[in-house]
Structure 1
Amino acid sequence: MTAYDPFDPQFLADPYPAYRTLRDEDPVHHHVGARNGIPPFWALSRFEDVWNAVRDTDTYSSAQGLTFVPDEIGKLGLAPTIVMLDPPRHGQLRGLVAKGFTPRRVAALEDSVRGFVRALLDSFADRREVDLHREFSSPVPTFVLAELLGVPAADRTRFDPWVAALTALQDSGFDLNAMSAPDAVAEMFEYFAGLITERRRAPGDDLISALTEVESDGELLTDWEILGFCFVLVAGGNDTTGNLISHAVMLLDTDHRQRALVVDEPARIPGAVVETLRLEGSVQGLARTTTRDVELHGVTIPAGEKVMMLYGAANRDEREFGDTAEQFDITRSIPRHLGFSSGPHFCIGSHLAKLQSRVALEELLARCPHVSVDPASGVRLQSSFTRGWVSLPALLG
């Protein structure tokens, strides 16, 4: 039997051997051992299969949610987020959102991001030991999202309990009865609803203001649609980006030759970020629901079944990336990968994540070119979907 169990702490500590077995022996895996009332589901692990599936929205629907949980959207009280819609409405809504969430708006954040990162590093001036994840990687996206959305400085600590509750929901195996996630979502929506009302009355130079004003063929975004996008940014763009930064530092510390190359040639940092996304992706997988029977590798997945798209497995598939697929190589040519998914649901915040990661690594490695981390003493996030850290001790140098 394949040793794949997304709720098992041993699997979560190192999922990659099980992913390899799935790819080689059980590429259309039927997982029947679940908990907390979660029914059986399927898992795809080979790159080509996942790549094709996430681009085939007619067959693999997002409208029933992205986790194992039946009716997760209703149970969490979610607004209609773009990640949980299918075409054509997904494309219409994404097009409207994209008018406010432009690469130019993101690029304009670089100076403030760099100033924030430098201030963080300044605060470590008299210290050699830090918690890299808690004190460096994680605060960066919290600051950036607050800046982008126009959240007043005094309110920015509100992000932490919201993200913590959603993370704890993942840790629980999506036991909605045991966790506070629905309350956190309700509080988040209430807060951002107030901001939206304020921005409609008195727009500012922030993303929420821009989203209240974008128009296409006379159509404006509704408050609920803007709330849904705020949820996507906070829930999907906070811990994932922090984990991307921490994983990049960790992987560079495993190969000091490659780290020296990045330190000497900072222009290589974007390549290191993409390779980190491939090898230690923050999002290990998300679910879709089949709209029809699907036959793949001699196995039939019935209509109406949840199917996990295992990005973390697919991104290490030697069928796509060659014999060195499980090795870290910042010089690797990567024409395509699933670190940001693909197709209609390609991560709309990819340029924001890349900006933050690049700036954070540029400043950290310029100041501390020999920074080292201690994964063995760190605390891993226990999540079926997000691979990352709660704590990651580091020595600056």
Structure 2
Amino acid sequence: MALRYDPFDPKFRTDPYPAYAELRTETPVAHHPAGAGQPEFWALTRFADVWDAVRDPATFSSAQGLTFFPDEIGSLGIPPTLVMLDPPVQTRLRGLIGRAFTPRRIAELEQRIRAFVKERIGELTERAAGGETPDLHQLFSAPIPVFVLADLLGVPESERASFTPWVAGLTAIQNDGFAIDVDQVSGQHAVGEMLGYFSEAITHRRSCTAHDDLISALVTTELDGAQLSDWDILGFCFVMVAGGSDTTASLISHAITLLTEAPAQREILLAEPTLIPSSVLEFLRLESSVQALARTTTRDVTLHDQTIPAGQKVMMVYGSANRDEAEFGRNADQLDVLRRPDRHLAFSSGPHFCIGSHAARLQATIALEELLAAHPRITAEAAAGERHDSYFVRAWKSLPCGDLSR
């Protein structure tokens, strides 16, 4: 019997990596039939297959949504956003939002991010000195991308206390089922509040453009000779928040978790901190924040003697592809901060390559540089932590830390 990619199995979700290894070997094109309230879909688990598929939007389309759920688009009450479009429209829109994520503009944020990171480290240190076991994720990793998003979107510091729960609400319910354990009512309320806030911000920016943020840039931008609609701009805001918060936060927390499990690799980074920027991709490769997202076939596709019919949802299993021995060698399931792969899927690839990759890498780099400089022996107590129970992402809710000695 062929092995199944089964994210509905709680044991699979807890530790999917042994199943991924078997799937890559035995069933690289896995079929999950419909039944018991579960949808039909397929899954690609080898690196080469996922790499080719995400770079072929004509065959593997994003326009029907990114999950295996058949009716996900519109669940948040807004039109399809950037990640649910195909070229050429997606290409033009991506070019607009890309203005906020150029390496130059992100680098301008570095001093502000570094100051904020040091402030968060001070909070961890103070809590530990007071006898607490600080929560690395809640007190350190999670606030960093929220700070950066607020900065990019022009949310004033006086209003950021409200922005934080809105981000948490949206990331929890995005795409109708990313998180299994979410309070849907609370999450939808948070999304509604954020929708209202950004609608007012867009109206204000249209009458007063003396702001230096993404919303101001978008309200003055034209596409095919016409200004972007409010819905277009709201969609951009939602893509940024939904895609740039929990993923980056979990990247930072996963990095400390992996270094805790591989002390020899930590020693390499402590001896040569200049390796930290390049090691960020290795952390994300080994513990991919986004484990899998779907495409929909536009024609019949045959891979490894299996034919996927047209119109089928196909999961791109990044978490498996990023550990494929055929691409990364025999030690693909081990941390190697010296690894320099020619290609990777840490941020996907092709037209939907993560538009916020520069921002995510910068945040993680600064966080690790400053944290390891202040507390070189810090540990992540993963056994005492709590993960989101999600079909698609591998993310922390809480992660206690220890050994904050210098």
Corresponding residue number in structure 2 for 1:198:
204
* Whole-Å separation in 1 of the counterparts to 2:179 and 2:71: 12
SS in 1 for 2:30: strand
Q: Say whether residues 1:131 and 2:135 are aligned partners.
A: yes
- Deviation of the 1:121 alpha carbon: 1.2
Give the aligned length. 396
- Deviation of the 1:178 alpha carbon: 7.8
Using structure 1 for the length normalisation, give the TM-score: 0.94
For 1:96-175, list aligned pairs within 5 A: 96-128=96-128, 129-169=133-173
Percent of aligned pairs with the same amino acid: 59
Corresponding residue number in structure 2 for 1:13:
14
Q: Say whether residues 1:22 and 2:27 are aligned partners.
A: no
- Deviation of the 1:174 alpha carbon: 6.8
- Deviation of the 1:33 alpha carbon: 5.7
Q: Say whether residues 1:313 and 2:305 are aligned partners.
A: no
CA contact (8 A) 2:221 2:228 kept: yes
For 1:26-37, list aligned pairs within 5 A: 26-32=27-33, 37=37
RMSD: 2.1
Corresponding residue number in structure 1 for 2:184:
179
SS in 2 for 1:72: coil
SS in 2 for 1:76: coil
2:277 to 264, 270, 294: 270
* Whole-Å separation in 2 of the counterparts to 1:337 and 1:168: 27
Corresponding residue number in structure 1 for 2:346:
339
**Superposed CA offset, 1:235-282 (max 9, x none):** 110000000000011111122222122122221001221101110010
- Deviation of the 1:75 alpha carbon: 2.5
* Whole-Å separation in 1 of the counterparts to 2:401 and 2:183: 33
Corresponding residue number in structure 1 for 2:194:
188
SS in 2 for 1:124: helix
* Whole-Å separation in 2 of the counterparts to 1:371 and 1:202: 46
* Whole-Å separation in 2 of the counterparts to 1:221 and 1:299: 43
CA contact (8 A) 2:301 2:307 kept: yes
* Whole-Å separation in 2 of the counterparts to 1:120 and 1:174: 27
Corresponding residue number in structure 2 for 1:53:
53
* Whole-Å separation in 2 of the counterparts to 1:173 and 1:66: 10
- Deviation of the 1:38 alpha carbon: 4.3
CA contact (8 A) 2:171 2:245 kept: no
* Whole-Å separation in 2 of the counterparts to 1:303 and 1:183: 37
* Whole-Å separation in 1 of the counterparts to 2:397 and 2:388: 6
- Deviation of the 1:183 alpha carbon: 4.4
CA contact (8 A) 2:170 2:241 kept: no
Using structure 2 for the length normalisation, give the TM-score: 0.92
* Whole-Å separation in 1 of the counterparts to 2:120 and 2:276: 20
Opposite residue 193 of structure 2, the aligned amino acid is E
Deviates more, 1:75-84 or 1:57-66: 75-84
CA contact (8 A) 1:101 1:207 kept: no
**Superposed CA offset, 1:200-235 (max 9, x none):** 221201121122223466343322111111101111
SS in 2 for 1:133: helix
SS in 2 for 1:208: helix
* Whole-Å separation in 2 of the counterparts to 1:97 and 1:32: 38
Structure 1: 5+ residue stretches without partners: none
Opposite residue 388 of structure 1, the aligned amino acid is A
**Superposed CA offset, 1:38-73 (max 9, x none):** 421111100000000001000111011101122311
**Superposed CA offset, 1:150-189 (max 9, x none):** 1122322334433443454479677899823554433322
**Superposed CA offset, 1:265-301 (max 9, x none):** 2210012211011100101010011111111111111
* Whole-Å separation in 2 of the counterparts to 1:178 and 1:273: 32
Distance 1:174 1:354, change over 3 A: closer
SS in 2 for 1:289: strand
